[in-house]
């Protein structure tokens, strides 16, 4: 067995801080969405993806990939959002097995109402702690990591 490539003290500190942010930030953002808008973070993510798509709809397989949700979890999520009038499901005319998730007017209103508060939470909880140099470095670092993860699906 090869010798492990242990983290340096600086890498270990950065990694532990990253883990702490990943543990705390999603629940803090979700608390804001839930208290103001009665949405959870996954609801918001689905609404963002649909609202930013060209026709306000996406194939379920594409939406699953963009949200990193399994097909079964996405199906449950979509069913729940349909019950709240945020989205509808539509058949794909050229593929009987495929379907679309489509943003409803109620879903558009929900994302329009939630976005300002959510962005303020992101700014207050995350970006307000960073200098412009931090933001630039963080963006470059996260893009480098994302490139590796996208290129090597076996690493997930």
CATH at 58: 1.10.10.10
Give the confidence band of 155 by pLDDT, cuts at 50, 70, 90: low
Q: Which residues of 76-101 are buried (b: 16+ CB within 10 A; e: fewer)?
A: ebbeebeeeebbbeeeeeeeeeebbb
Residue 131 belongs to some domain of the structure = no
Residue 58 belongs to some domain of the structure = yes
91 has which bridge partners? 99
Q: What is the pLDDT of residues 69-95, one digit of tens each?
A: 999 999 999 999 999 999 999 987 777
Residue 144 belongs to some domain of the structure = no
Residue 102 belongs to some domain of the structure = yes
Q: What is the pLDDT of residues 42-73, one digit of tens each?
A: 999 999 999 999 999 999 999 999 999 999 99
Residue 104 belongs to some domain of the structure = yes
Residue found under tokens 């996208």: 150
Long-range contacts of 89-98 (CB under 8 A, 24+ apart): 89/60, 90/57, 92/59, 98/59, 98/60, 98/61
Q: Which residues constitute the domain of residue 87? A: 37-122
Q: Which pLDDT belongs to residue 52?
A: 97
Structure tokens at 150: 């996208």
Question: What is the total count of domains within the chain?
Answer: 1
Model's pTM, two decimal places? 0.88
Determine the Cα–Cα distance for residues 49 and 63; give it in Å rounded to an integer: 7
Q: What is the pLDDT of residues 104-141, one digit of tens each?
A: 999 999 999 999 999 999 999 999 999 999 999 999 99
Q: Which pLDDT belongs to residue 154?
A: 64
**φ, ψ at 99 (rounded to 5°):** -145, 165
Q: Which pLDDT belongs to residue 2?
A: 86
Q: Which pLDDT belongs to residue 83?
A: 97
Residue 150 belongs to some domain of the structure = no
Residue 146 belongs to some domain of the structure = no
Inform me whether the pLDDT recorded for 156 exceeds 60: no
Residue 110 belongs to some domain of the structure = yes
Residue found under tokens 């379907």: 99
């Amino acid at each position: 067995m090869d010798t492990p490539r242990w983290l340096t003290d600086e890498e270990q500190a950065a990694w532990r801080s990253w883990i702490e942010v990943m543990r705390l930030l999603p629940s803090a953002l979700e608390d804001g969405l839930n208290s103001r808008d009665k949405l959870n973070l996954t609801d918001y993510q689905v609404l963002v993806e649909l609202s930013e798509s060209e026709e306000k709809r996406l194939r379920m397989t594409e939406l699953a990939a963009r949200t990193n949700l399994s097909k079964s979890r996405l199906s449950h999520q979509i069913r729940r959002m349909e019950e709240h009038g945020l989205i509808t499901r539509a058949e794909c005319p050229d593929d009987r097995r495929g379907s679309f998730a489509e943003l409803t007017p109620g879903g558009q209103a929900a994302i329009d109402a939630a976005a300002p508060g959510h962005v303020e939470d992101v700014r207050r909880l995350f970006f307000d702690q960073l200098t412009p140099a931090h933001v630039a470095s963080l963006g470059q670092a996260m893009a480098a990591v994302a490139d590796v993860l996208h290129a090597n699906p076996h690493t997930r």
